Structure 1
């Protein structure tokens, strides 16, 4: 298969995940992007999500190109929501909410239903696979509890904080950060950065984080509400014991679209 680092193939879009990484890592974990609440008196309940489904009129105002196209049955989403909490506020005031709690509170069946609800909410699914009923259950609960949704394709502040702690736990201080299209890779030294400083170094499209010795990799892709942690089983045992991440280990059948096969 070649070297996934040299070949710039750090995310397994197709096939089984463990098979994809077998030449580099023997253990892979699906880490779920946490929901969160903020420690403040007032919550803007209309802005609990980064994305927003635009009406046709709103879309025409935001996207000039649409004026040249015939009106069609298309969903347009905007991520220009400046009322969604900024990273610095999430760092200082954010309280992570686990998917387990969201599932229980919203009366969804499990992680698979929740992932489907989230993907439905951003228009990421073919219409044949959308589940507005699951999305409604999710939104009813998060709206009632003032719980913010994670943003897909973005590690997010709370996950970056956990990743920082994970690198420290495993004694890895030289960290590589690579963007989605492999156009730029930077190296940071955790000994010279605070936790916030590290998180601030990672941009919204920085999808691949790994130790300089390549013994642990964090990787995501643009449409997901989760990321992958790939390493050896001994380090993975340490990470699972640390309880820094919520999720589950990949088995031999787990694929990127794990919600369809999760048992």
Structure 2
């Protein structure tokens, strides 16, 4: 809701689409102080590609270390894992960004390792906090995947695009930036200015007019079919998370912890 205007969206995907359209209205991206702006459909295409890639990264984060994955957008193509000199330089660039602005007593160390001489090497991400280290492995096979190629294709478009004086502008407001992620974050933040967002978890939370506009009006409402399989699956999840047996609940949380978003605590 903004002012007297109200708009209903059914899920996060539709919300992101709406905010993106709003954010790019009258938006211009200047890669450098003297460069011509990127705007209109060209800017929309870049933002949509960025959102697709971040969705890929979110999906992959349940399998691989998220902080490392996020750095791939800003990185050139990985060299051959067997090329020690090139890999040292490549990993050092990521390591430098990961260690930037970390709290005292924490640090990252990246290296190439393998379990034995015959296996495909992997990247080891070692995170140290007050002398206690935790290692995360990124298998070499990942860099031959279609997901990595999609990330790399987008990275090639934006890396090296920005230089001194780069900024993003929307209307009369502007912000200096150093990378594309900052530009998108700022634009979406601007789109949210003055917006009042409400989430409804049940029909009982709505006023009568809201209930009519979203659910009771036949021309606007959505009907979803619930099958017996859905009820069985829901019962299993409910029993796992709310039952008296602690061990299945602990196992579920440990397995799915990195997939959790929008926690309502």
The verdict on a shared fold, with TM-score over 0.5 as the criterion, is: no
Structure of higher RCO (CA pairs closer than 8 Å, 6+ residues apart): 1
TM-score normalised according to structure 1 size:
0.24
TM-score normalised according to structure 2 size:
0.23
